[in-house]
Structure 1
Amino acid sequence: MSITKFFRNVSTEMRKVSWPKRKELTNYTITVVVTVVFLAVFFLVVDLGISALIRWIADSKQ
């Protein structure tokens, strides 16, 4: 298969793609950003909780 044929096939397939409208793309972007922020805060709280628990256990053994 030649490189020219490959890129021709890529071009053909890209024309078949159903691209999202601007409003859909905005909604998807907001959903992703909110999810990432929520998970970051969640794991921050979990990490701080586990760290505090380990410090409390370590301090109680001394």
Structure 2
Amino acid sequence: MGIMNFFGDINREMKKVSWPKRKELSRYTIIVLSTVIVTSAFFAIIDLCISFFIRFFLNN
């Protein structure tokens, strides 16, 4: 009976969740993807700069 109570509790809790509407979900998805792209570009540029300086100093 314990496992049935567990899944029953999960079902009741999931009904209480406030799920985002389609428009909100689309907006949040765009925000997350934009943030990931900008952050990735930032770290790629930093990585290229650091690599350039390391190669420059090691070759001299």
TM-score over 0.5 for the alignment?
yes
TM-score between the two structures when normalised by the length of structure 1: 0.94
Residues in 2 aligned to 1:3 and 1:53: alpha-carbon distance in whole angstroms: 60
- The 5 Å alignment of 1:28-39 reads 28-39=28-39
- Paired position in structure 1 for 2:27: 27
- Give 5+ residue unaligned stretches, structure 1: none
Structure 1 residue runs of 4+, over 4 Å off? none
- Paired position in structure 2 for 1:46: 46
**Cα RMSD after superposing both structures:** 0.9
Over residues 35-60 of structure 1, what are the superposed CA-to-partner deviations in whole Å (9 max), with x where a residue is unaligned?
Answer: 00001100100000000000001011
- Give 5+ residue unaligned stretches, structure 2: none
Paired letter, 2:26? T
Percent identical pairs in the alignment equals 50
Residues in 2 aligned to 1:21 and 1:52: alpha-carbon distance in whole angstroms: 46
